[in-house]
Amino acid sequence: MLFQSSYQFQNSIIEPNAKKSHDHPMIMAFFIKTEMKPFVEQITLWFGMIMVLIVTAGAFAFTFTDLLEDRLYGTKRTFFITVLFAYAAYRSYRLYSVMKKKKVE
């Protein structure tokens, strides 16, 4: 009963005059998700930008300082820095492709 009452509440918000007997919960959930899509896309874009900045800053910190030099040294340190730069490049590419796709639409 709890699911049915919350479903009826969500249905009344989206379409107050719709018939309750013919509606399907999966269809209504789809419409609820599509209304939030622009907001979620904005959060995703901002999160991607922040991640690129953080990962790049971390790579530069490991490159030009002695941060964790006692535990991370030699080839392991070089590999870790390379992985950080590669991940920043990958996230930048994904961010660019999403922004380009959004601009086209």
Per-residue confidence (pLDDT) for residue 62, from 0 to 100? 92
Indicate if 58 and 80 belong to the same structural domain.
yes
Indicate if 51 and 91 belong to the same structural domain.
yes
Indicate if 61 and 98 belong to the same structural domain.
yes
pLDDT digits (tens, 9 = 90+) for 35-93: 557 777 788 888 889 999 999 999 999 999 888 888 888 899 999 999 999 999 999 99
Residue 48 CA, chain-centre distance (Å), reads 7
**Cα–Cα distance between 68 and 63 in angstroms, integer?**
11
The 10 Å CB-count burial string (b at 16+, else e) for 71-91 is eeeeeebeeebeebbebbeeb
61: DSSP letter:
H
- pTM metric for this prediction: 0.58
- How many independent structural domains does the chain possess? 2
Indicate if 50 and 97 belong to the same structural domain.
yes
Indicate if 20 and 69 belong to the same structural domain.
no
